Structure 1
Amino acid sequence: MENKIKKRISVDLLMIVAIMLEFISLPILIHELVGIGLLFLILAHLKLNEKYFKAITKGKYTLKRTINLIINIGLLISLLITILTGIFISQKSLKNIKIGNNKMSDIHKSSSIISLIFLVLHLLITHKKLIRGLKKLH
C-alpha cells in the first residue's frame, strides 16, 4: 500500500513540475521533450487512479460528485487536445509527423491554458487526498 502511495505522489509531483516547466520559456526541443514526458506521466496517473474510472457508473451522483466528474472530463479532453496538437505541430522531436499550421499552434496554446484552468480546479477537489497520502508516508 505504501509503495502505491509513493508512486502516486511521485507521479503527481513530477506532473506538477513538468506542467510548470511547460509554461516557462524553454528551447523548443526541451519544451517538446518535457511534453512527451508529461504524456507518459499523465498515462501513469490515469493507471494509478483506475479505481476512479471503474466507480464512475456506480453509486449516486450528488452535485459535488457531478461537478468533480465534469471537471475531470474537461481536464481529460483539454489535455488530449493539447497533446494531439502538440504532436501535430512538433518542430524538433517529432518533426517527421508535422502536419500542423499556425491555427493548430493557436489551438495548442489555447487548450493548454484551458487545461491549466481545469488542472487548478482538479487540484482544488483532490488536494485533501494528496495531503493524506503525504501524511501516510511519515
Structure 2
Amino acid sequence: MKMKIKTAADILMTAALPVLMCYSIVGETAHEVIGIAMFGLFIAHHIMNFGWIMSLFKGKYDLRRSVNTAVNALVFLCMIGLMYSGIVISKHIFTFVNIGGAMTARTIHMLCAYWGFVLMSVHLGMHISQMAARMKLKNKALIWSLRIVFGIIGAVGVYEFISLKFADYMFGKVQFVFIDTSASAVLTTLQYLSVMVLFAYVGYTLQMLLKRNNKTAVQ
C-alpha cells in the first residue's frame, strides 16, 4: 500500500511540474493551488522516504551517493525557496501574510522555479530504473521502445529549452518571465514537458554512468 501511495505521489508531482511552469495561461489562482498541492506531495514524499533521510549521516559516500544526495539537497532548497517566495508574492490564497520583500521574492521564485524544474527532472531521471521496477516493466522490446520515444521527445526538448529561454531565466539574465497568454495551454505544457523529458534523460544517463563507475571501482 505504501509503495502504491509513493508511486501515485511521484506521478502527480511529475504531472504538476510542466503545468506550474505556464502559470499565466493556467491562471494565478490555479497556479497557487497546484503549487500548494505540489509542496504537500513533496513533504509526503519525504515522509515516506524518512528512512533515507535518517541514513544521510551513516555509511560511506562514493561518487554515486554523493551526486544523488547533492541533487536531492538542491531540489529541497528550491522547494523551500519556492514555498517561501510563493507565500510572499501570493495574490490570492496568502494575501493575509504581510512579510514584505516582494521584489526579492519574485527573483527567488523565478530562479527556484527554473532551477527546481531542471533539478527535479534530473532527479526523476535518476530514479527511472526504480520506478520501472515498481511498475514491473521487464519486456525488453517495450523498454527499448520507451527509450527511443523519450529520446525523440528529449531531442525536441533541446529546441524548446532554447526557445523558452531557460538559460536566461536560470541565470537571472531576465527579470520577468514572458509567456504568450494567447498560446494554447496544452501546447505550452507540452513544450515544458519536452524539456522535462530532456533533463530526465540526462538524469537517467548520469545514473547509468555512476552505476558503471561504481562497478569499475569495486573491480
**CA distance in structure 2 between the aligned counterparts of 1:95 and 1:86, rounded to whole angstroms:** 11
Q: How far 1:70 moved relative to its partner?
A: 0.6
Residue type at the aligned position of 2:35: G
The residue aligned with 1:91 is: 91
For this pair of structures, how many residues does the alignment match? Answer: 134
Contact kept, 8 Å, 2:21 with 2:113, in 1: the verdict is no
- Aligned residue for 2:96, secondary structure, equals helix
The residue aligned with 1:12 is: 10
Q: How far 1:123 moved relative to its partner?
A: 1.4
**CA distance in structure 2 between the aligned counterparts of 1:36 and 1:49, rounded to whole angstroms:** 20
**CA distance in structure 2 between the aligned counterparts of 1:57 and 1:63, rounded to whole angstroms:** 15
Q: Quick one: percent identity of the two aligned structures? A: 24
**CA distance in structure 1 between the aligned counterparts of 2:133 and 2:54, rounded to whole angstroms:** 22
Matches within 5 A, 1:25-40: 25-40=25-40
The residue aligned with 1:70 is: 70
- Aligned residue for 1:130, secondary structure, equals helix
- Aligned residue for 1:92, secondary structure, equals coil
Q: How far 1:102 moved relative to its partner?
A: 2.6
Residue type at the aligned position of 1:88: V
- Aligned residue for 2:136, secondary structure, equals helix
TM-score w.r.t. the length of structure 2 is 0.58
The residue aligned with 1:49 is: 49
Post-superposition Cα deviations, 1:48-107, rounded to whole Å, max 9, x if no partner, equal: 111111111122111111111111101101111011100111000111114342331122
- Return the index of the structure with the highest Cα Rg: 2
Gap runs ≥5 in structure 1 = none
The residue aligned with 1:119 is: 120
TM-score w.r.t. the length of structure 1 is 0.90
**CA distance in structure 2 between the aligned counterparts of 1:75 and 1:112, rounded to whole angstroms:** 10
- Aligned residue for 1:96, secondary structure, equals coil
- Aligned residue for 2:26, secondary structure, equals coil
The residue aligned with 1:104 is: 105
Contact kept, 8 Å, 1:85 with 1:100, in 2: the verdict is no
Computed over aligned residues only, the root mean square deviation of the Cα atoms, in angstroms, reads 1.4
**CA distance in structure 2 between the aligned counterparts of 1:47 and 1:35, rounded to whole angstroms:** 18
